[in-house]
Amino acid sequence: MATLSGVNFVTPRFVVADAPGFGKGGPVKVLCLNRPWKRVSQLESKGLKGIRPVRAVPDSISEKVEKSIKDAQETCSDDPVSGECAAAWDEVEELSAAASHAKDKKKDDDPLENYCKENPETDECRTYDN
Amino acid sequence: MAVSTLYTPQALNSTCSISTPAKSHVGFHQKQLVFYRRTSKRVGGGGGSAVITCSAGDSQTVVIGLAADSGCGKSTFMRRLTSVFGGAAEPPKGGNPDSNTLISDMTTVICLDDYHSLDRTGRKEKGVTALDPRANDFDLMYEQVKALKSGVAVDKPIYNHVTGLLDPPELIKPPKILVIEGLHPMFDDRVRDLLDFSIYLDISNEVKFAWKIQRDMAERGHSLESIKASIEARKPDFDAYIDPQKQYADAVIEVLPTQLIPDDNEGKVLRVRLIMKEGVENFSPVYLFDEGSTISWIPCGRKLTCSYPGIKFHYGPDTYFGNEVSILEMDGQFDRLDELIYVESHLSNISTKFYGEVTQQMLKHADFPGSNNGTGLFQTIVGLKIRDLYEQLTSSKAAAPLEARKA
């Protein structure tokens, strides 16, 4: 269900301990899952205002790239020839490369191809050469 | 020594040679396993049984070094190279998903970023780029490459490019061909001596800028200025530590902007030069028509029609950082299959096993970048040369046991 894709309560990233009424990272009651808008407001009322949804890896790399560019521009405005400035832009380069690799990987990710790589003998994966 | 029955010799990764039990390999640091085969199909003329010595450490691991900026194991060059040997290279199954290592049947590609001594935070604190030798552990690199070369498996650290941290090590078994790819394969002279062949991928500044624009402009946060600033900031370290490795490389692939289109800044049509060192053992440079002479060749004409901007070749001897070299240069693009096969048929010493092998390899990966210009062509040719070098090295090492077999 598309509505479920946004929030995952089981990941350790969320500080669940603060919220009263929630167990230690336990799953949310099924009732709440069908009405995410209501659930978000419930969360806010219970003090979990800071939760952001966990996004797929490529997005977080993109965010890292964006953040690193801002950091580099700040560091270099203080001292453009320092080692810190070079290190900051080097980080930008590394993250940009990682982002483009992740993008390529995502492009290549065909679920059927991946399945057939592991199980070439199944019916779906049979190939006929003649 | 362990003795056990062998039913499926294909399971062995290392090459086996049939020898008399009395033969011993003295003076090598290697692991030896002696397998006694009960049923034999094709045992050197003998009857039911023979002793097969399988030594992983016959120093048959060929080590290739590839110096390339920002790109590790996933680069097009690596994929072409591993494809020449057959099979696709994949990350190790069941291991760290962010591993940089690629493994295929014959080859293992190791990313030298795994030998960073400082992780991303460490480098930030010290104000040091990844290009700086202070961020890399060359002692560990030397030990592990030496171990793999002599047939001993190693626990290699993993540098996670996503998190910027050093992850727990992974086990790397000695392969037939070990490729070490990264920023500093030829920086440390001990590591350099272990290399059987080394390649340097030299991208000129204009082309680098054009490629990085294509790669990064779609990223949020990046702009023309940030891309430019990033290249400029890394340039001093690059020029000081990475660029000097060019002089040690056996082959340099230099990528420059084209001379066929005036004021071209898109970086789509490229002028690529393959600079091959003379006098390298087991490596004979590729040439055009007449080895050692200077040739200028435009294949487009009566027999072959090319579209704009056409193709131009140049071949000749030269000196490069004080070394004698031969340079083969291609400017322009391939548009059709017959252009490619026509060019291939006129090149000599390309170490193909059959007519059209270069074209076949290029077609196999027609979707890779550079498949229509000199980068793809020369990368494929270098891959074939490495295969040739590997076969020469392994046949010369097998020559001694072969004599014993015949006797």
Using an 8 Å CB-CB cutoff, list residues of chain A that contact chain B.
57, 61-62, 65-67, 69-70, 72-73, 76, 82-94, 96-102, 104
Query: B161 at the A interface (CB within 8 A)?
Result: yes
Positive/negative CA dihedral, B348, B353, B355, B359: negative
When pLDDT is cut at 50, 70 and 90, the band that residue B337 belongs to is confident
Mean pLDDT value of segment A9-38: 46
* Inter-chain residue contact B237 with A98, CB threshold 8 Å: no
Name, in order, each residue with C-beta under 8 angstroms of A57's C-beta and a sequence gap of 6 or more.
A102, B162
The Cα of B233 is separated from the nearest Cα of chain A by a number of Å equal to: 5
Q: Measured between alpha carbons, how far is B215 from B217 in angstroms, rounded to an integer?
A: 6
pLDDT score of B407: 56
* Inter-chain residue contact B230 with A93, CB threshold 8 Å: yes
Name, in order, each residue with C-beta under 8 angstroms of B335's C-beta and a sequence gap of 6 or more.
B306, B307, B372
Contact residues on chain B for A84, CB-CB shorter than 8 A:
124, 127
Top mean pLDDT of A33-37, A65-69, A77-81, B40-44 is at A65-69
Q: How far is CA B402 from the centre of its chain?
A: 29
Mean pLDDT value of segment A11-23: 43
Contact residues on chain A for B74, CB-CB shorter than 8 A:
101, 104
Cβ pairs A/B, distance under 8 A: 94
pLDDT tens sequence across B125-149 = 999 999 999 999 999 999 999 999 9
On the question of pLDDT at B267 being above 90, the answer is no
Top mean pLDDT of A95-109, B350-364, B391-405 is at B350-364
Q: Measured between alpha carbons, how far is B201 from B243 in angstroms, rounded to an integer?
A: 10
Q: Measured between alpha carbons, how far is B300 from B35 in angstroms, rounded to an integer?
A: 59
pLDDT tens sequence across B355-389 = 999 999 999 988 888 899 999 999 999 999 999 99
Q: Which tops the pLDDT comparison, B175 or A106?
A: B175
- Reduced to 3 states, what is the DSSP secondary structure of residue B303? coil
On the question of pLDDT at B57 being above 60, the answer is no
The Cα of A43 is separated from the nearest Cα of chain B by a number of Å equal to: 30
Q: Which tops the pLDDT comparison, B58 or B340?
A: B340
pLDDT tens sequence across A48-86 = 444 444 434 456 888 888 888 888 888 888 887 788 889
Report the residue of B79, B136, B211, B230 to disrupt the A interface, i.e. the one with the largest count of A CBs within 10 Å. B230
* Inter-chain residue contact A73 with B226, CB threshold 8 Å: yes
pLDDT score of A13: 45
> Across B289-407, where does the E strand assignment appear?
295-297, 311-320, 323-332, 347-348
The Cα of B211 is separated from the nearest Cα of chain A by a number of Å equal to: 12
Q: Measured between alpha carbons, how far is B12 from B238 in angstroms, rounded to an integer?
A: 42
When pLDDT is cut at 50, 70 and 90, the band that residue B200 belongs to is very high
Q: Measured between alpha carbons, how far is B195 from B199 in angstroms, rounded to an integer?
A: 10
When pLDDT is cut at 50, 70 and 90, the band that residue B314 belongs to is very high
On the question of pLDDT at B89 being above 90, the answer is no
Mean of the per-residue pLDDT values of chain A: 67
Q: Measured between alpha carbons, how far is A118 from B90 in angstroms, rounded to an integer?
A: 12
Positive/negative CA dihedral, B286, B291, B297, B303: negative
pLDDT tens sequence across B272-304 = 999 999 999 999 999 999 999 999 999 999 988
pLDDT score of B313: 96
β pairing state of B197-203 and B251-257? parallel
Is residue B35 within 8 A of residue B3, CB to CB? The reply is: yes
When pLDDT is cut at 50, 70 and 90, the band that residue B13 belongs to is very low
